[in-house]
């Protein structure tokens, strides 16, 4: 089966991050051939430095990556067309879909949400007014009645290798400064601008346990640099009390997954890193992508509602306080101290949650079953 995935980058890395993971996971499932059309080559190259410097088709991990312009000229049609995040297909491609005898299956991949309403919309066809073709809504999610989560077949073997005894030492050999401790509390930080960053840094600075904070290149440095009183240089570490801050380059996806697997706590954001933190099976704090009308708060609360179902009341309150504090819903007394003290239990829970959400089909399996219900 031939798939075409279309991705326009709205901002940041989530649009392309999710599209690339999906394309790669789909292409790994022979006999699916996948083309990925991308409109923002510079952002693509941050994630895939192997891409040519100027937009041109190339193949990586069995995915044929194409500049958007290729689909703005006549090209072959796929059997399955995925429009990531309602990005609007190129008009000429859409017209070809309308005019062909057997149009492709047309899927609109939506944003991930833990909210209940997505279950009623997942899988619903909607007629496109311009062409009369049916477009089916596909909602990634955490329940059996949603579209599931992207999970590659090797995600847990890679995680387990990173969590083996040698994992941190291998990481330090590649990225660490000479003085970075492998036995400290390791935290990764990937976040939007966040007024709660400085209180957190202060918590870590005066922590009783040494803390190593790994921070890949990105917007969060805007808040970090003034606090450190330094200018940013990649692969440098700074010591502030009990806290060692280590700057990382923007990592390959594989190394970012590896970092998440090795850390004791991960601060993640948006959509894809949020999912990856769950596969890492370590306690995490999610900064939801800020939206108008505080829609992100509903998303966060909906996720917590599911995530905390099997957590006792006291630990649930600890996680809720930490997440609400980090998402700007009011400073919570001793949020970090309580979270840190509960880490052994929270780690067990993170593992149990990961096993629970991995017990059902992943997104790719659900997508293929939706499109080819008769194929085993």
Q: If we measure between CA atoms, which residue out of 119, 158, 166 comes closest to residue 139?
A: 119
Query: Contact region for ligand TRH (CB under 6 A) — 13-21, 52-60, 149-157, 193-201?
Result: 13-21
147 within 8 A of 363, measured Cβ to Cβ: yes
CB atoms closer than 10 angstroms to residue 197 = 19
11, 24, 243, 269 from 185: Cα distances, Å: 32, 33, 10, 20
Interacting residues with ligand TRH between 159 and 198 (CB under 6 A): 190
* 250 contacts ligand TRH (rule: CB under 6 A): yes
> What token pair was written down for 317?
């309150």
Beta carbons within 8 Å of 270's beta carbon, 6+ residues apart = 12, 13, 14, 287, 289
- Let me know how many helices (H) and strands (E) the chain has, helices first: 15, 14
Of 83, 203, 271, 325, the residue at the interface with ligand TRH (CB under 6 A) is: 271
Would you say 107 or 251 has its CB closer to ligand TRH?
Answer: 251
Candidates 50-58, 195-203, 267-275, 307-315: pick the segment binding ligand TRH (CB under 6 A).
267-275
> Of these, 40, 83, 110, 272, which contacts ligand TRH (CB under 6 A)?
272
Residue whose CB is less far from ligand TRH, 162 or 251: 251
Residue placing its CB nearer to ligand TRH in the complex, 78 or 282 = 282
DSSP letter at 70 equals G
Order of strands, sheet of 284-287, starting from the edge strand that comes earlier in the sequence: 237-240, 243-248, 211-216, 185-189, 265-269, 284-287
Residue 14 vs 90, nearer CB to ligand TRH: 14
Considering only 7, 201, 213, 251, the residue that binds ligand TRH (CB under 6 A) is 251
In the complex, the smallest distance separating the C-beta of residue 5 from ligand TRH, rounded to whole angstroms, is: 15
Site string for ligand TRH, 274-303 (x = CB under 6 A): ---------------x--------------
Question: Interface with ligand TRH includes 83 (CB under 6 A)?
Answer: no
Provide the pairing of β-strand 237-240 with 243-248: antiparallel
CA 311 to chain centroid, in Å, comes to 24
CB 20 within 8 A of CB 80: no
What's the CA gap between 163 and 159, in Å, rounded?
A: 6
Q: One symbol per residue from 62 to 81: x for binding ligand TRH (CB under 6 A), - otherwise; what is it?
A: --------------------
Residue among 137 and 289 whose Cβ is closer to ligand TRH: 289
Q: Which is nearer to ligand TRH, 78 or 162 (CB)?
A: 162
Q: Site for ligand TRH (CB under 6 A): which residue of 14, 90, 140, 362?
A: 14
Judged by CB under 6 A, how many residues of this single chain contact ligand TRH? Answer: 22
Each as own residue / partner, the long-range contacts of residues 113-120 (CB below 8 Å, 24 or more positions apart, any chain) are: 113/139, 113/140, 113/141, 113/299, 113/302, 114/141, 114/142, 114/299, 114/302, 114/303, 114/305, 114/306, 114/307, 115/298, 115/299, 115/302, 116/302, 118/146, 119/143, 119/145, 119/146
Give catalytic residues, as residue numbers: 15, 271
Least CB distance from residue 363 to ligand TRH, whole Å?
A: 14
From 10-18, 68-76, 86-94, 179-187, give the range in contact with ligand TRH by CB under 6 A.
10-18
Minimum distance, C-beta of residue 301 to ligand TRH, in the bound complex (Å): 16
Q: CB count, 10 Å around CB of 69?
A: 11
Give the C-alpha separation, 123 to 144, whole Å.
12
- Please select the residue that binds ligand TRH; options are 80, 216, 283, 362, rule is CB under 6 A: 216
Tokens of 146: 């949603």
For 250, other C-beta atoms within 10 Å of its C-beta total 14
Judged by CB under 6 A, the chain residues 311 through 350 that form the site for ligand TRH are: none
Contact between 42 and ligand TRH by CB under 6 A: the answer reads no
Task: Pick one of 13, 106, 139, 186: the residue that binds ligand TRH (CB under 6 A).
Answer: 13
Q: Which residues bind ligand TRH (CB under 6 A)?
A: 10-15, 17, 47, 111, 190, 216, 218, 250-251, 253, 256, 269-273, 289
């Amino acid at each position: 089966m031939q798939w075409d995935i279309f991705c326009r980058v709205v901002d940041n890395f989530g649009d392309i991050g999710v599209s690339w993971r999906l394309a790669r996971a789909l292409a790994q499932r022979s006999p699916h051939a996948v083309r990925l059309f991308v409109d923002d080559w510079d952002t693509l190259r941050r994630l895939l430095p192997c891409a040519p410097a100027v937009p041109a088709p190339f193949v990586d991990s069995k995915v044929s990556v194409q500049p958007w312009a290729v689909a703005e000229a006549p090209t072959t049609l796929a059997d399955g067309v995925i429009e990531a995040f309602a990005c609007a297909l190129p008009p000429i491609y859409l017209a070809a879909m309308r005019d062909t005898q057997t149009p492709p299956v047309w899927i609109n991949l939506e944003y991930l949400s833990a909210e209940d309403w997505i279950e009623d919309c997942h899988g619903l066809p909607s007629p496109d007014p311009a062409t009369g073709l049916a477009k089916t809504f596909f909602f990634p999610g955490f329940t059996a009645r949603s579209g599931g989560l992207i999970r590659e077949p090797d995600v847990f073997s890679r995680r387990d290798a990173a969590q083996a005894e040698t994992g941190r030492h291998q990481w330090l050999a590649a990225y660490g400064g000479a003085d970075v401790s492998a036995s400290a509390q390791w935290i990764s930080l990937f976040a939007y601008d966040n007024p709660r960053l400085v209180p957190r840094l202060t918590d870590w600075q005066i922590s009783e346990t040494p803390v190593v904070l790994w921070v890949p290149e990105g917007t969060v440095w805007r808040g970090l640099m003034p606090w450190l009183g330094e200018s940013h240089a990649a692969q440098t570490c700074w010591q502030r009390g009990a806290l060692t801050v280590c700057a990382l380059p923007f990592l390959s996806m594989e190394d970012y997954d590896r970092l998440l697997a090795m850390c004791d706590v991960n601060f993640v954001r948006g959509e894809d890193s949020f999912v990856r933190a769950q596969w890492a099976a370590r306690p995490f704090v999610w900064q939801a992508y800020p939206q108008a009308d505080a829609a992100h708060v509903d998303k966060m609360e909906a996720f917590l509602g599911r995530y905390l179902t099997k957590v006792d009341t006291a630990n649930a309150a600890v996680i809720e306080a930490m997440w609400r504090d980090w998402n700007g819903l009011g400073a919570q007394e001793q949020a970090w101290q309580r979270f840190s003290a509960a880490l052994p239990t929270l780690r067990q829970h993170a593992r149990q949650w990961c096993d629970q959400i991995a017990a059902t089909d992943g997104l790719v399996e659900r997508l293929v079953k939706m499109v080819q219900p008769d194929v085993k």
